A and B are shown apart, each in its own frame.
Chain A
Amino acid sequence: MIQEPPESRSPETRERPIITMVPDVESADQLARERPALRDWMELRLGWWGFVRKNLDEPMPPGVGWWQTLGNLLLTMLVFQFTTGVLMAMYYSPSPQSAYPSVKHITDTVTAGSLIRGLHVWGSTCIVVAMTLHTLRVFFWGSYKKPRELTWVVGVLIFQVMLAFSFTGYLLPWDQKAFWATVVGTRIAATIPFVGQDLLVLIRGGDEVGALTLTRFYAIHVMILPAALMALIGIHLYLVRRHHIAGPVIPQKGAPQPFFPNQLFRDVIVVIIGIGAMFALALLFPPGLEAPADPAGTDFTPRPEWYFLGLYELLKIMPAGWELVATTIVPGIVTIGMLFLPWLDRSRSRHPAKRGWTILLGTFVILMIGLMTLKGILETPPHSAHSAPAEQHARH
């Protein structure tokens, strides 16, 4: 994938600016006379190898290892997500009449359609898992501390964008599951005092979930969120490079190692495993479709995507009149707490043992979310389980 230029093998030349590698250019015709290799010609203009080399030489403090591979795994998975998404947009048609048949067409008729859609559906699940692990590792390593506060803040925003991707994408197949999860999910906005009802109309594009909800969600899913995500990831990566990877909480002996070859090799192994898992899931559990959305039906039990099940369970246990706590206050506090974590945790040390309450509270929140999600997954009736093969019967 990335080739190391021969020059970078010698340590002296590695430090020198790449521009001096090219014969000193006095004038354009000298360059023309010497017939430089295409690579040198490009190098003078693009500075590409300098960029590549800088990244290959990125210092990894001793102790950096497998846990630091998740970021690159996420990047690769996002490339898959974008590719499969753009492909499906070539066949998908966002209207109440055509959405369902177009998704059915993609799944049943288009060559490799079931695989492409399966990769997209399972990709979202895999990304949420990898993103959660990445966040946990950054949290426990205390990597959000000075000077990496904004790397963390941008990360939290990326997290929100990913959840919005999932919520808007869930509606697009316009089957029963999609429709009812959106009816109930958007109603959450209406629980907010004063502005709730207007907010609901704004999100739905009308009073009820209908044609304009679908076009709205589609525009958000394929235009607004990808643009926002690319911008945020650009900033995230810029900051990661600017501040370099934080080493282990207790600095280890030894000099930093360049990213290439050891860390890059670890990255590739993890990418192979992660992408392999995505393919296996997409092939073993091909994506299904339930019956087409029926706004008049009364016998369908809506269920959200599995990673929203924690919230769903929280709603269940709230007493009457307290739904605002589950829909807005608890998720709001967790999000704001995450955004401001670098300033809330005032301990000087990144060591978990020296960050007593942060680690305690963080672990508590993580356990609660985990347990509620698990409870939700266990209580999911098997027929509506996420992409279960049983769903395939519904297709025929």
Chain B
Amino acid sequence: MDHETQQPTPPLDAEAMARRKFLGRVVTVLNIAVVGVLAVPAVQFAAAPLKHRLKEEWLDVLGDDELAEGETREVAYTVAVQDGYQKVDRKYVVYLSRQDGEVKCFDPACTHLGCRVKYQSDQHRYFCPCHGGVFDESGKVVSGPPPKGLIQHPVKVEGGRIYVSRMV
């Protein structure tokens, strides 16, 4: 136990050297295997959310008669979604807009970095509060950094109701 009296190991002969080299490699391989049996399931576990596939759902959001020609309005609706370990009613907001008789549904997430755009009916424009993105009522970029127009969700009108599709 006394470290003052510890003897150095004697020099190794050729055979012992070769054995050392060989066993050293075996140890390396085994250690990589040990790391592997942990790392592979660990990465799979942490990356599990990548496996989730979105599926389309149609939701009844508004009566057809509640949206006038030329009008744009904010509509909120809830969808039951699986949020990790729990089912929750997630609330979504979209803009419904009727232009030339056609109903369109715009996502309020700015195409720049996802802040919520706000529609100003007096100016017929959507404004993003974050970096100054502006969109017109057809969703096209008017100015600012957004790279493309507002994202649209498919819409159908059936039996006097407006349905919006959403990937959840």
Could you list which residues of chain A lie within 8 angstroms of chain B, going by C-beta atoms?
Answer: 19, 25, 96, 180, 183-184, 187-188, 191, 198, 201-202, 204-208, 210-212, 215, 294-302, 312, 315-316, 318-323
Contacts and interface: CB of A to CB of B under 8 A. Distances in A.
A50 to B, nearest CB: 13
B92 A188 contact: no
B49 A323 contact: no
Contacts, number: 93
A299 B128 CA distance: 10
18 contacts: A183-B114, A184-B113, A184-B130, A198-B50, A201-B49, A202-B50, A206-B52, A207-B52, A212-B83, A296-B92, A297-B93, A298-B74, A298-B117, A298-B118, A320-B147, A322-B145, A323-B113, A323-B147
A211 B147 contact: no
Interface in B38-89: 46-47, 49-50, 52, 54, 74, 76, 83-86, 88
Nearest to A24: B4
Interface residues of B, number: 36
Given A315-B113, A320-B147, A301 B47 contact: no
Contacts of B115: 180, 183-184, 301-302
Give the most central of B47, B83, B88, B113: most A CB within 10 Å: B113
Given A295-B90, A296-B93, A315-B131, A323 B84 contact: no
B162 to A, nearest CB: 18
Contacts of B49: 201-202, 204-206, 212
A304 to B, nearest CB: 10
Contacts of A188: 113
A207 B54 contact: yes
Interface of B: 2, 4, 46-47, 49-50, 52, 54, 74, 76, 83-86, 88, 90-93, 108, 112-118, 129-132, 141, 144-147
Contacts of A201: 49-50, 52
Contacts of A315: 112-113, 131, 145
Nearest to B167: A207
A81 B91 CA distance: 36
A25 B112 contact: no
A297 B91 CA distance: 9
Nearest to B132: A316
Given A318-B145, A322-B145, A323-B145, A300 B50 contact: no
Nearest to B111: A320
A210 B130 contact: no
